[in-house]
Structure 1
Amino acid sequence: MKASAFLIFFSIVLTIYFLVNFYIYRHGLMALPKGTQLRTSFVWIFWALAICFPLGRIVERYWTSPVTDAVVWVGSFWLAAMLYLFLIVLLVDIARLSNVAYPWMAKAFGDNLPSVRLWTLGGAAALVFLIIVIGHINAVWTRVSHYNISIAKEGGPRKQLRIVAASDIHMGTIIAQRRVGKLVRLINEQKPDIVLFAGDIVDEDLGPVIRRNLGRKLEQLAAKDGVYAITGNHEYIGGAEAAVMYLKNHGITVLRDSVALIDGSFYIAGRDDRESARTTGHKRKEVAELLDKVDTSKPIILLDHQPFELGKAAAANVDIQLSGHTHHGQLWPFNYLTKAIFEVSSGYLKKGNTSIIVSNGYGSWGPPVRIGNRPEIIVIDVTFTGAKR
C-alpha cells in the first residue's frame, strides 16, 4: 500500500477506534465509586486492553515474537468485546435519554441507583465475556458447504469435476499452524480435483507467516489439477508482490488478471483484486477483457475476491464465479451491512447462466470470533452436460 494512503487510512481508523473506546471508558468510569481501588484498576486494565491491538499490529510489522503474538491475541479479542460493549452502552444511553423525557429511574431505583450502575457494568462485562467465548468456539467450528452445479458445456473428456474452495484464510498470528493444518486436512478429505483460493490467503503482514513456516502446510494440499489462487485486499495491505511470491514458492499458482486452461477441458480465470488500483495505481482488467481470447464454448470458472458488479461475469459467459471478502459480516450485526452492500453476502446466486458463490471465509480478520455465521470451505460438484441443442 502507498505510504500516504496507508497513513490516511490508519489515522482515520485509529481515531475512530480510540473514540469508541473512550465512549465505553467514560460510561464504565461513571459506574464506579470515586477514590476506590476498583476504579483505579478499571482505568489501568481498560486502557491496557484497548491499546493491545494497534500496538501489537504495528510492532509485528517490524518484529514478531511470542510477546507480540500474545499482545495481538489479547487485542483481537478486545475488538469483539469493544463492539458489544459499545452496543450495550448505546442501549444504556437510550434508556438515560428516555429518563430525561420521563424521569422513571428515580422512581424505579431510588437511592439504589449507584448500585444499579455497578451491577449493570458487571452484568455487561459478564455478558460480553460469554458472547466472546461462544463466538470463538463458533469461529473454529468449520462447516463444509456443498453445491451441485450443472454446466451446459462440454468438459472435454470429463463429465464431472470436484472443486474445493476457500477464501479469507488470513494466515498469520491468529490463523496459524493449527488452523492452517485443519484447513489442509479438511480440503484433502473432500478428495478435490482442483483447489481454489478466492483471496485474502495472507493476513496483511507476511512476517508471522514466514516465522511459522505456514507455507509448508499448504504444500500438503493434494489435488491432481493443482492449487490456484488470486489476490485479495489483504495481500495488498501487506504487500502483494511478497505475498504472491511466497505462495508461488509453496506450490500455489496465483492468477493475476490471467487465465489457465486445465487439461484442455475448462478455464480458471483469476482477477487481481480491485484494491490494486488504490494501492499501486495499477487498474485490473475488466472481466470481458480478461476473457477476450478465451474459448467460451468451454466451461469458465472465475475467481474474483470482492463480489461487486456480478452482472459483468454473467455478460462474459462465465459459468461459475467464486468470491469471498464479506465474511458475511463476521460479527452480528455487521451482516446487515454486508447484505446492504453486496448483492449476495453469503451463499448462492444465479445470475443469467452464471452461478455465483460467495464464501463466508475460513479464517477471521481481527477477532477470532464469529457471531451469526460460521467459517466454511466449499465443495462444488460440477457436471458437464454438453452444449444445449
Structure 2
Amino acid sequence: MRFLIFFGIILGIHFLVNLYIYKRGAQGIEAMPQLLPYLRGIMLFLVLAYPAGRFLEKIWYSPISSFVHWSGAFWFAGMLYFVLVIFMVDLVRWSNMLFHFMPDKLNDNYAQIKLITTYAVTAIVVLTVVVGHINAWTPKIVKQNIKINKPGGDRKSIKIVAASDIHLGTIIGPRKTGKLVNTINSLNPDIILFAGDVVDEDVKPVIEQNLGENLLQLEAPLGVYASTGNHEYIGGVDRAVEYLEEHGIHILRDESVFIDSCFYIVGREDKDRTSFTRMPRKSVEELVRPLDRQKTIVMLDHQPYNLEMAQKAGIDLQISGHTHHGQLWPFGYITQKIFEVSRGYKQKGNSHFYVSTGFGTWGPPVRIGNRPEILEFTLEFEQ
C-alpha cells in the first residue's frame, strides 16, 4: 500500500510537470500553429514512454521495448531541465509585468519572440542532457589510502576495488558493463566489493543481454562480494541474488566472511528489506558480535543512514552508495540534507566511511553536477 501511494504521488507530479511543459510549449509556438500536432504527439509519447517501456520489457524484451525505455529515461532529465529553464523564463516575464524593464517594441513581435525563446530553451535543454549523458559514461577512479590501527597478519596492506549502484539492466547494458569490468581489472585488486544495487530492479534485461558473462570476467584473488540494495528488493531480491551468485558474485545477506586470515567483509541487508518482506534486518551490533574485533572489519551497507551505529560497533571501513549525490543537479542539495555524507569520505573516530556517487544511473542515463566512479581503497595495516 505504501508503494502504491508513493507511485500514485509520483505519477501525479509527473502528469502536472508535463502539463506545465506542454502548456508553455504550445504558447511558445503560437507563431507556427502547424507545429502544435507534432508537439502533442511527442509529449504524449514521452509522458508514457518510461512506464510503458518498463512494462513492455517484462513481457516482450526487444529493440522496441529498449527504445521506448531509453526515450522515457532521457525524458526524465529533459523534463527536469525544461521545467527549470521555463520557470526562469517565466520569472523574467512576471518581473517585467511588475517593473516594465523590457523594451516596449518587443510587444510588436511578441509571438515571434516567444517562438525564438522556445527554440533557445529547447537547445539549452538538449545540450545539457547530451553533456550529462557523456558525463554519465565517463567514470573517474577515486583513490583513497586508509590507515587501519589493527594488524593485518601477513599483509602490510590490501587493495580493495569497489563500486555501488551499477544498475545492470536496459540502460547499463553490455558496453557499460564491459567498461566496468575492464576498468576494475586494470586496477589489479586483491578483492572486489559492490555496495548494493548491482541490478536495476527487474533482472530480465540482465539475463536477456547476458550481462553475467561480463561479470564472470572480474578478476581478484580474494573474490568478489556484494550486499543487497533497495533495487534488488524492488525487482525481486531472490531472483537477482541467484543470478549474481551464478555469475561469480557472492552476496552477503546479513552475514560475514573472514578473508585470508586477515579481515572480515560484512554484507548488510538493505534498509528496505523490512518494507518489502516485513522481516527485520540485523543491527550492526548483531552482525559484528561473533567477530574478532581485533581484526579489521569492512562493511557493505547500501544506504548510508545512522553512521554512528557503525562507529559504535567498531566498523573500520563502511562502503555505501544509494545517494547518487542526487545524480541530476540540483538534487544533490537535497541528498546533502538527508544524509550525513551524501558523497565522498568521512572519518568518525576510528571508523572510516565512503559514500559513492555510484557507477551507473537510475532513470535517465544522465549525470549533472557529479561523476560516476570506481573506488580504489588501499588499507594499510598497523605493523
Q: Does residue 80 of structure 2 align to residue 83 of structure 1?
A: yes
Distance 1:317 1:60 in 2: 44
> Hey, what does 2:338 align to over in structure 1?
341
Pairing 1:361-380 to 2, within 5 Å after superposition: 361-380=358-377
Distance 1:105 1:115 in 2: 15
Q: Does residue 122 of structure 2 align to residue 122 of structure 1?
A: no
Match of 1:254 among 251, 259, 266: 251
Contact 2:140 2:372 in 1 (8 A): yes
Contact 1:267 1:298 in 2 (8 A): yes
Q: Does residue 228 of structure 2 align to residue 237 of structure 1?
A: no
Shift of 1:105: 4.8
Contact 2:190 2:221 in 1 (8 A): yes
Pairing 1:283-298 to 2, within 5 Å after superposition: 283-298=280-295
Deviations for 1:74-122, whole angstroms, at most 9, x for unmatched residues? Answer: 1111111000001012112222332343344572622122111111111
Deviations for 1:218-243, whole angstroms, at most 9, x for unmatched residues? Answer: 01111111000001111111011111
Contact 2:195 2:319 in 1 (8 A): yes
Distance 1:69 1:35 in 2: 33
> Hey, what does 2:211 align to over in structure 1?
214
Distance 1:57 1:105 in 2: 46
One-letter code of the match for 1:138?
Answer: N
Task: Call closer, same or farther: CA 1:260–1:121 in 2, change over 3 Å.
Answer: same
Q: Secondary structure at the match of 1:9?
A: helix
Distance 1:278 1:119 in 2: 49
> Hey, what does 2:149 align to over in structure 1?
152
Deviations for 1:246-296, whole angstroms, at most 9, x for unmatched residues? Answer: 111111110111111112210001110001111111111111111111110
Contact 2:31 2:115 in 1 (8 A): no
Q: Does residue 58 of structure 2 align to residue 61 of structure 1?
A: yes
TM score, norm. by length of structure 2:
0.97
Contact 1:273 1:304 in 2 (8 A): yes
One-letter code of the match for 1:344?
Answer: V
> Hey, what does 1:23 align to over in structure 2?
20
CA RMSD of aligned residues (A): 1.4
Contact 1:191 1:223 in 2 (8 A): yes
Distance 1:35 1:90 in 2: 22
> Hey, what does 1:300 align to over in structure 2?
297
Distance 2:294 2:105 in 1: 73
Contact 1:5 1:279 in 2 (8 A): no
Distance 2:115 2:288 in 1: 63
Q: Secondary structure at the match of 2:59?
A: coil
Deviations for 1:184-226, whole angstroms, at most 9, x for unmatched residues? Answer: 0001111011000000000011110010111111011111110
Q: Secondary structure at the match of 1:60?
A: helix
One-letter code of the match for 1:113?
Answer: Y
Uncovered stretches (5+) of structure 2, i.e. residues with no partner = none
The percent of aligned pairs where both chains have the same amino acid is: 51
Contact 1:181 1:217 in 2 (8 A): yes
Shift of 1:49: 2.0
Distance 1:53 1:75 in 2: 4
> Hey, what does 1:138 align to over in structure 2?
135
Deviations for 1:136-180, whole angstroms, at most 9, x for unmatched residues? Answer: 111111111100011010112111100000000000000000000
Distance 1:161 1:229 in 2: 18
Contact 2:167 2:361 in 1 (8 A): yes
> Hey, what does 1:263 align to over in structure 2?
260
One-letter code of the match for 1:242?
Answer: R
Distance 1:320 1:36 in 2: 61
Distance 1:330 1:61 in 2: 26
Contact 2:31 2:111 in 1 (8 A): no
Deviations for 1:44-84, whole angstroms, at most 9, x for unmatched residues? Answer: 12222222112111222332111100111111111110000
Distance 2:291 2:60 in 1: 45
Q: Does residue 26 of structure 2 align to residue 42 of structure 1?
A: no
Q: Secondary structure at the match of 1:244?
A: helix
TM score, norm. by length of structure 1:
0.96
Uncovered stretches (5+) of structure 1, i.e. residues with no partner = none
Distance 2:41 2:323 in 1: 35
Which range is displaced more, 17-26 or 52-61? 52-61
Distance 1:307 1:86 in 2: 30
Contact 1:141 1:375 in 2 (8 A): yes
Distance 1:120 1:46 in 2: 19
Task: Call closer, same or farther: CA 1:295–1:70 in 2, change over 3 Å.
Answer: same
Q: Does residue 7 of structure 2 align to residue 10 of structure 1?
A: yes
Distance 1:23 1:214 in 2: 39
